[in-house]
Structure 1
């Protein structure tokens, strides 16, 4: 009934726990687990997962991006539904069943997902409306962003475990119909990392399907495990900004893209100046300078690769 696809890139410290949680909380006879190793450099995946049988592990010689890894996994999938999981996801009891009940019970639902929690059971930001100029302004300048995210993660429906519609889910955990995935062409492989999830939901919603969150379906998530570094993460900020521009070039038009570029250039300058007047944050200045310069360079189209 369901093919679970996990793309791994140097996340062996997490993926064993992920696989164990799937096996412990879902009937394996109903599923297949497909793991795509995206050119990991440590070569320990097979060793780490040696105690588990029946896993379909596909090795790639290089990292072609999250979306490309997922697309390859789908080519090996034989089930009707696709559950994409990050390797740092922990499945809980009945979480997969709740999603399957939802998507099989309504043919108008194209994608559904549960709530992502951190280790302290705090609801994580994992869904939103499609990004518009108002959202990009908040991200660029940091003004009102936390309040907006807090509103998203403290919705009354979550407390009452009532399903609700959104525009898109974080690619860390989402269930969709395989035939629909193939109909929209899968993930855009021009996007190496980030925004590939927003893009595919945009295509699916454009087909008239609903995107539904199921609050009683809960998963734990260790965020950004594959790009995690102490302090400044060049990979994160580079691909987040590059993918953002790619997405808006497709869906927002040249005029709005220019405004977005300007917002992130001036927003980075604004954030730096604000930081100077906050002595308790001065320890962050070296990493913040790297972040802001990288962001400005990308939006000025000076930095084209890392």
Structure 2
């Protein structure tokens, strides 16, 4: 009888550190550029690339993503129709395995060290609330130097509308969390005592346009007049031009780390447990304002928003709601913006 004891095997389970989540809706060649840049990332942890194909009809991006999924390069989620930016991102988050979520626009290309720098900074200064105390990490964070690289998976088909399949619930059944602390698009600093001791909830990198200009990606919470002035010729009036500049933080040195009110959703890193805690993106915003709203909820939950320029991402951005007055009024995305503005200011109204 064989009685020799087998040597004890030491098995180290590698936890997924990061999931990147990107929405594609007829973005042609950009998803390929985005995926290739992510694949070139140099990290000491395991991460996965998730794309939500949001009812795309464009054969270029659709074909690339399907092929990339078959090759095991990405995890692809397909919806039967365009369910909106918020619902699409929530669907991606629902299927994410990472400890952190990086929401990333399809027209972006990360620098090779961007993912590592963002995760390292979040690991050092971030944290998910545990037993009512900030600052302590949730158990299970593992540095995966022995088995680094991208994790891939197969195609996932989601034929529902998105709201049912995402199963993201809101903290107060409306999408707002502790909105008594945040009024009318402005901050009430009464809930921000000891803010310096708060952990980071959302981290945003430096975004760089194709021409090398740094994007104004961190801003103050808007008032209605700020957004109207920014989108119309009223913004040419001297006193409104000053307001827009203040809202856009035009006087800020974008080479410095800062704590703005909110950062653009083109690239934002957040712990998955915190994202779930605040209810994810509010799906009442089909397009626009969902990033402002998420930052408000995260701040109300006791976390900081931080702009971190040491991590860099190229953003081949084209303003969807830009153009002359006539052209603007005939754009569907412009009316999405208007609808989202109304929902946002109503949600965060006084009283």
TM-score, L = length of structure 1: 0.75
1:264-302 Cα deviation digits (max 9, x unpaired):
xxxxxxxxxxxxxxxxxxxxxxxxxxxxxxxxxxxxxxx
In structure 2, the residue matched to 1:23 is 39
User: When the two structures are aligned, how many residues end up with a matched partner?
Assistant: 251
For residue 125 of structure 1, report the CA deviation from its aligned partner: 2.1
For residue 245 of structure 1, report the CA deviation from its aligned partner: 0.9
In structure 1, the residue matched to 2:278 is 184
C-alpha distance in structure 1 between counterparts of 2:250 and 2:314, whole Å: 14
In structure 1, the residue matched to 2:349 is 252
C-alpha distance in structure 1 between counterparts of 2:339 and 2:332, whole Å: 11
Structure 2 residue runs of 5 or longer lacking an equivalent are: 1-16, 128-198
- 1:90 equivalent in alignment to 2:109: yes
In structure 1, the residue matched to 2:92 is 73
In structure 1, the residue matched to 2:336 is 239
In structure 2, the residue matched to 1:263 is none
For residue 179 of structure 1, report the CA deviation from its aligned partner: 0.3
Higher helix share: 1
3-state SS of paired residue (2:249): helix
- 1:170 equivalent in alignment to 2:186: no
On the 8 A contact 1:98/1:216 being kept in 2, the answer is yes
In structure 1, the residue matched to 2:52 is 36
- 1:129 equivalent in alignment to 2:148: no
CA 1:228–1:64 in structure 2 vs 1: closer, same or farther (change >3 Å)? farther
C-alpha distance in structure 1 between counterparts of 2:110 and 2:261, whole Å: 23
C-alpha distance in structure 2 between counterparts of 1:188 and 1:151, whole Å: 23
For residue 244 of structure 1, report the CA deviation from its aligned partner: 0.7
In structure 1, the residue matched to 2:310 is 216
C-alpha distance in structure 2 between counterparts of 1:193 and 1:59, whole Å: 18
On the 8 A contact 2:201/2:305 being kept in 1, the answer is yes
3-state SS of paired residue (2:280): coil
Match of 2:119 among 81, 94, 100: 100
C-alpha distance in structure 2 between counterparts of 1:239 and 1:75, whole Å: 25
Structure 1 residue runs of 5 or longer lacking an equivalent are: 255-306
1:7-31 Cα deviation digits (max 9, x unpaired):
1000132110011011112449610
- 1:200 equivalent in alignment to 2:309: no
Which has more radius of gyration? 2
CA 1:78–1:151 in structure 2 vs 1: closer, same or farther (change >3 Å)? closer
CA RMSD of aligned residues (A): 2.6
CA 1:227–1:214 in structure 2 vs 1: closer, same or farther (change >3 Å)? same
For residue 62 of structure 1, report the CA deviation from its aligned partner: 0.4
In structure 1, the residue matched to 2:4 is none
1:100-122 Cα deviation digits (max 9, x unpaired):
11111113100001111111110
TM-score, L = length of structure 2: 0.66
C-alpha distance in structure 1 between counterparts of 2:267 and 2:250, whole Å: 16
1:63-88 Cα deviation digits (max 9, x unpaired):
01000000000111011000000100
